[in-house]
Amino acid sequence: MLYLDYAATTPPYDEVVDTMAEIMKKYFGNPSSLHRIGMEAEQLIRQSRAVIAKCLNVLPDEIRFTSGGTESNNLAIQGTVSKFRHRGNHIITSVIEHASVYETFQQLEHQGFRVTYLPVDETGCVRMDHLEQALTDDTILVSIMAVNNEMGRIQPISEIGELLRSYPKAVFHVDAVQAVGKLPIDPVKQRIDLFSCSAHKLRGPKGIGFLYCRQGLELTPLLWGGGQEAGIRSGTENVPAVVGMAKAVRIAYDHRETFFEHTSKLRERFVSAIQAIPELKLSGSERAEDMAPHIVHFSFPGMKSEVLVHALEQHQIYVSTRSACSSGAELPSRVLHAMGYDDARAAHGIRLSYSLDQRMEDAEFFGRALREVVEKLKPTMTTQSRRR
């Protein structure tokens, strides 16, 4: 089996599974309880927060646990605009954000906020001049993802953070779900106020994530109740998942340089295999340094993506069509449309995503299987075109 859908979710580390099982059996207390069993659970929460903070070079109190990337994004965005609406009514994002960001901005637009959706160039990158033109003294939030989850384009986060020095009222949020543990993220150096992470994207458990919240920045909670997580995320902490996430983050950071080197070489192999087939079109920038090393996206114009996915599945190769949150939709990709691709490309995309688990031989196997599948599907595609 060749699993190439790591951007959707990842198999948890054995160490993570074993640790979580042990925690569930031995440390079942409520961290808010005052007795010893509760205090043991609270100590695990405190230690996990410290582990994650050390990896990110931030303070432990700046890490707030959530149920995952979607909640972290919603908390960051809605918590910011609710808290600082008195400062201004203008918020900025891009047209290629994950649905949990993009659709949140759409809802805020319905609520009366003035929203600027920044366009991207043909490689999928936000242009700094467009952002600079959009910023005003009324801007209270800028939310730009670190790595596009669909086609892997890296965004100019450091440059954006530097630009926002001149706009102190604007809070800078980064959806870093596809970047944490894979690419350099330094909230302090990059002047990031808020960024989101999801554990299951880096071989941790599902249903747990965190939001980095810069010290001194206050947010309005989405959930009210017991006041956990410094009051911005009420609810009894999921101790086994929190510990499992901390372990996954630590392992990812311990191997980040190896990950980058290995996946960069894999990307070269995957890209070469795709470019060798004339019917296929790569997405994004031709410059490798512009693209995340662990994601490759291409289109097979004229052929339904689902058909190619299932054809590759016959070879026990598992890929996806786009973000797992919207892969069931048959409409053209919003992200690819934004990059200027027509329907023939935007509706027929395939995403490969991988990790340290895959070998160079796997890329060669994929290339052979892909060529075989395309050759088999081409007559079908021609027939379909004639019928239309």
Burial code of 277-306, b = ≥16 C-beta within 10 A, e = fewer? Answer: beebbbbbbeeeebbbbbbbbbbbbbbbbe
* 37-90 residue pLDDT tens: 889 999 999 999 999 999 999 999 999 999 999 999 999 999 999 999 999 999
Looking at this protein, which amino acid is placed at residue 318?
A: Y
Q: Rounded CA gap, 126 and 247, in Å?
A: 33
Q: Residue 353 pairs with which residues in a beta bridge? A: 5, 295
What's the average model confidence in pLDDT over 205-219?
A: 97
Count CB atoms within 10 A of the CB of residue 307.
16
H/E element holding 126?
none
State the Cα angle at 312 between 308 and 318, rounded to 5°: 105
pLDDT tens, residue by residue, 158-202: 999 999 999 999 999 999 999 999 999 999 999 999 999 999 999
Question: What digits encode the pLDDT tens for the residues 312-355?
Answer: 999 999 999 865 454 445 678 999 999 999 888 888 999 999 99
Alpha-carbon distances of 128 from 88, 95, 98, rounded to whole Å: 22, 14, 20
* Angle, vertex CA 245, rays to CA 256 and CA 318, nearest 5: 70
Question: pTM higher than 0.75, yes or no?
Answer: yes
Active site residues: 325
What digits encode the pLDDT tens for the residues 244-259? Answer: 999 999 999 999 999 9
Distance CA 207, CA 173 (A): 21
